Amino acid sequence: MTVAYDTGGGSAARTASQARAALAAARASRSAELDRWLADLPAAGRGPGRPAGAGDVALVAVGSHARRELTPGGDLDLVLVHRGHPGIAEVADRIWYPVWDSGLRLDHSVRTVGEAREVARADMKAALGLLSARRIAGDQALADELRAAVLADWRADARRRLAELAAMSRERWEKQGELAFLLEPDLKDAHGGLRDVHVMQAVAASWVAPAPDARVRAAHDLLLDVRHALHDATGRATDRLVLQEQESVAHALGLMDGDVLMRLTAEAARTVTHAGDQLWRRVERFCRPRRAASRAVERRPVGDGAVEQEGEVVLARGADLGDPSLVLRVAAAAAQADLPLAPATVERLAGHAALPGPRWPAGARDALVALLGAGPPAIGVWEALDQAGLIVRLLPDWERVRNRPQRNPFHRFTVDRHLVEAAAGAAALTREVARPDLLLVGALLHDIGKGWPGDHSTVGAVVARDLGTRLGFPPGDVAVLEALVRHHLLLPETATRRDLDDPVTVATVTTAVADVPGRERELVELLAALAAADGQATGPAAWGGWKARQVAELARRATAALAGGTPPPPPLPDSEHLSLARYDGAAVRVAGPRVTIAAPDRPGLLWRAAGVLALHRLAVKTARSMTAQETPTAVLDFTAVPEYGTPPDPAALEADLRLMLADRLDVAARLDRRARSVRPRPGAPAPPPRVTIVDDASHTATVVEVRAHDRPGLLWRIGQALGSCGLQVRGAQVDTLGAEVVDVFYVVDAAGDPLTDPAVLAEVRREVLAALT
């Protein structure tokens, strides 16, 4: 028998919805016709014993036909179930031979219920098929008995079977890759494909997780329609959507072209993959050893407004949904802790949390940088926000690159995923640049112009300028971001196509970066790091050892040809600071996040004050240490925000600062007790800290530059290390950019002189590094 798929007239004239409705109708019609035809086969003749259907035989479908999803190239999977029927072999022949004669591809078996159960216990593929078994003909009670028995076994042994299923899925993903990002994906077996949805249904049958939701079902239906159209277009059973078939499949689905098809396919696959990630986390928790009934669920703060609960990040009870920085701050906390966001938390944030306006507050920008700075753990958190529709609400220009395919073999990812991968890769290079925040945001935006017509670097620079302004960067930083996107291909293209020994090659770079006067060296530094992050995120064919060396050498020569680039000079007190410094003894002023201290200068003043802030769970975002020229008074100016929860009582903070100034507060002992009471948890991996002694940066002090990942009490530990070397901080400029610190300290020895002995300088560097690690 031949059952055709009639999908109506020419697909080019139909809308996508009409085309897809026709495909679904064709599958339903074929399924019903196959059912009728197969139901008649067991009764076609009589053999020894009783006829099929007389209470001891049932014909059941498994696989795609059982789900009524059989596409033109799909296999027909049938199981003939019986209760010891003496003529079952003859009955089977009367079914299998007509099916073979019809030209249909058939996978078949004959089993008793007991035999089917044994096979299902040993064979995962057989178990998955039998979980969806559907009676075609014969005894309904026997078919029900079979399915009930297989389901009972599946649920009773769920821990072992689901662990086995997870391992099989991971093995398949490793072999087939990510459907959403493949140039020629396997629609069925790749990660995010149809088989993953069937696996989700099997997990749901164990009662460990709910069935796939409406978004996953819609994604599944789209992938099924694409597979159906592919089978129609090729006339054969294939699940790989190769390049030469993408246009014809797109037209069969009523779509404009292959790019639209691949964009929709990528979106569907990412929806399935994201839902699968959530499901497998749930399965993993289920498979762990059972928790003691009396043990309460532990909640541990991981950031302001965010706590860890059962391996996921959820909202703290007092989280302010009206805070426009909350979404990104919770996302950053999850990524920095290397934990996923709980699905219910993402749903609540998407539905109820306020978002930044046309110009972001500093806290939202800082949280975005901290999120990107977490590196690879940021990718899953970003995907969760994207699936909830939050990314395009935060960054409207993101819509143009979202799921946009890159139709060449060099790129491993869609445009949007490539941007996130590049930013995550740039996190490992934050020690190479003085402005890690600009590197991370520049990496996120470097290909943003690919959503617009024209040269993507030129167009993208304009988009980056607008987005930089929206994010709240000052004009000078916006100019650097714009230039970073405009010239992101400058170093790799010049280094691989020009002679590095030709003076014109270096001049090409120095001329290009001259459009940001005063920040040329900084821009070259950023461009070199971005080139590495971009190349590594593109794929192995786009970045290798030779190219990396060429880019690094060109950047070195261009930097040498440019003047300037020294650290900022020691900050000087303004009139407000000077007025505070005129108080006799010491003065302390706490005004919101700003804490200002004026006191007689003495060794250790900066880090002891930072220790008091750490005691009150305040994270130092900026710090300026300066000395008034008129008096021997040091002025410390901090900007500090709560690590989490409500801010400390200003009066209590001021009281402790005064006790510290009067040498009546043992800061070190209190911090040590606090550290012992906290159970540390490993977070996202961070690049190692870097400590640099900057030569010739000052004639009156030695300049120590520290680049590291921020954490509570960091400034305290750096100051302790400098103090242990007998050094006094004459000036300091401390900045926390996202989750990265770039600190510059101007230090002198006990005699008030800069350090000159190389051995002493090396020891200072070792002590500070030891404090950081």
Query: The CATH number of the domain where 215 resides is what?
Result: 1.20.120.330
Contacts by residues 175-182 (CB-CB < 8 Å, ≥ 24 positions apart): 178/269, 178/273, 179/265, 179/266, 179/269, 179/272, 179/273, 180/265, 180/266, 180/267, 180/269, 180/270, 180/273, 180/403, 180/414, 180/417, 181/266, 181/412, 181/413, 181/414, 181/417
Distance CA 659, CA 254 (A): 75
H-type helices in 41-139, by residue range? 63-66, 88-101, 113-122, 124-131
174 CB burial (10 A radius; 0-12, 13-18, 19+): exposed
Of 171-175, 269-273, 289-293, minimum mean pLDDT range? 289-293
Within a domain: residue 369?
no
Are 214 and 241 in contact, with CB atoms under 8 Å apart?
A: no
The answer, yes or no, to whether residue 581 has pLDDT greater than 80, is: no
The enclosing domain of 69 has a CATH number of 3.30.460
267 CB burial (10 A radius; 0-12, 13-18, 19+): middle
The answer, yes or no, to whether residue 337 has pLDDT greater than 90, is: yes
Distance CA 474, CA 442 (A): 15
pLDDT band at 676 (very low <50, low <70, confident <90, very high): confident
Looking at every residue in the chain, the average pLDDT score rounds to 89
Asked if 150 and 175 sit in the same domain, the reply is: no
Distance CA 59, CA 215 (A): 33
- pLDDT value of residue 643: 86
Within a domain: residue 25?
yes
Q: What percent of the chain has pLDDT over 70?
A: 92
Asked if 502 and 589 sit in the same domain, the reply is: no
The answer, yes or no, to whether residue 341 has pLDDT greater than 70, is: yes
Non-local CB neighbours of 393 within 8 Å, separated by 6+ positions: 355
Chain segment 353-369, per-residue pLDDT in tens: 999 999 999 999 999 99
Asked if 141 and 175 sit in the same domain, the reply is: no
pLDDT band at 343 (very low <50, low <70, confident <90, very high): very high
Within a domain: residue 361?
no
pLDDT band at 597 (very low <50, low <70, confident <90, very high): confident
pTM over 0.85: yes
Asked if 174 and 57 sit in the same domain, the reply is: no
Are 487 and 513 in contact, with CB atoms under 8 Å apart?
A: yes
Give me the number of domains the chain comprises: 4
pLDDT band at 568 (very low <50, low <70, confident <90, very high): low
Are 7 and 26 in contact, with CB atoms under 8 Å apart?
A: yes
Q: What angle do CA 735, 740, 743 make, to 5 degrees?
A: 40
What is the torsional sign of CA 434, 440, 441, 445? positive
The answer, yes or no, to whether residue 617 has pLDDT greater than 50, is: yes
Within a domain: residue 208?
yes
Residue ending a domain, among 140, 156, 172, is 156
Q: For residues 654-683, give the mean pLDDT.
A: 82
Q: If you count DSSP H runs as helices and E runs as strands, how many of each does the chain have, helices first?
A: 30, 15
Chain segment 51-91, per-residue pLDDT in tens: 444 468 999 999 999 999 999 888 899 999 999 888 899 88
Of 75-89, 402-416, 503-517, 669-683, minimum mean pLDDT range? 669-683
CA 132 to chain centre: 34
Token readout for 372 is 């990107």
Chain segment 205-230, per-residue pLDDT in tens: 999 999 999 999 999 999 999 999 99
Within a domain: residue 374?
no
Name the strands in the sheet holding 134-138, side by side, starting at the edge strand that comes first in the sequence: 106-112, 76-82, 57-62, 134-138
Are 638 and 623 in contact, with CB atoms under 8 Å apart?
A: yes
Asked if 527 and 658 sit in the same domain, the reply is: no
Distance CA 627, CA 221 (A): 69
Of 22-36, 244-258, 336-350, 573-587, minimum mean pLDDT range? 573-587
The enclosing domain of 436 has a CATH number of 1.10.3210
Secondary structure class of 759 (helix, strand, coil)? helix
Asked if 646 and 759 sit in the same domain, the reply is: yes
**One-character DSSP codes across 604-647:** THHHHHHHHHHHTTEEEEEEEEEE-SSSSEEEEEEEEEESSSSP
Chain segment 489-503, per-residue pLDDT in tens: 999 999 999 999 888
pLDDT band at 11 (very low <50, low <70, confident <90, very high): very low
Distance CA 724, CA 607 (A): 12
Residue ending a domain, among 287, 317, 337, is 287
In the block, residue with structure tokens 């909640």: 299
Asked if 399 and 455 sit in the same domain, the reply is: yes
CA dihedral 665, 669, 672, 676 (to 10 degrees): -110
Return the bridge partners of 378, or none: none
Non-local CB neighbours of 108 within 8 Å, separated by 6+ positions: 77, 78, 79, 80, 92, 95, 96, 99
Chain segment 700-717, per-residue pLDDT in tens: 889 999 999 998 889 999
Within a domain: residue 336?
no
Q: At what angle do helices 436-445 and 362-372 cross, to 10 degrees?
A: 80
Chain segment 751-770, per-residue pLDDT in tens: 889 999 999 999 999 999 99
pLDDT band at 295 (very low <50, low <70, confident <90, very high): low
Neighbours of 324 (CB within 10 A): 17
The closest alpha carbon to 368, from 110, 737, 773, 752, belongs to 737
Asked if 167 and 123 sit in the same domain, the reply is: no
Asked if 444 and 488 sit in the same domain, the reply is: yes
CA 603 to chain centre: 44
Asked if 530 and 423 sit in the same domain, the reply is: yes
- pLDDT value of residue 209: 93
How would you label 555-582 residue by residue, b for 16+ Cβ within 10 Å and e otherwise? Answer: bebbbeebeebebeebbebeeebbebbe
In the block, residue with structure tokens 């999908």: 7
Distance CA 346, CA 364 (A): 17
Within a domain: residue 572?
no
Asked if 49 and 186 sit in the same domain, the reply is: no
Distances in Å between the Cα of 752 and the Cα atoms of 231, 464, 697, 700, 733 are: 81, 46, 17, 9, 19
Instruction: Please give the residue range of the domain that contains residue 748.
Output: 578-772
pLDDT band at 9 (very low <50, low <70, confident <90, very high): very low
Secondary structure class of 257 (helix, strand, coil)? coil
Are 211 and 200 in contact, with CB atoms under 8 Å apart?
A: yes
Within a domain: residue 249?
yes
In the block, residue with structure tokens 């975002």: 621
Residue ending a domain, among 136, 156, 176, is 156
Token readout for 469 is 């302004």
Q: For residues 324-343, give the mean pLDDT.
A: 96
Asked if 441 and 512 sit in the same domain, the reply is: yes
Q: For residues 501-510, give the mean pLDDT.
A: 92
The answer, yes or no, to whether residue 2 has pLDDT greater than 60, is: no
pLDDT band at 266 (very low <50, low <70, confident <90, very high): very high
What is the torsional sign of CA 356, 362, 368, 374? negative
Distance CA 696, CA 49 (A): 102
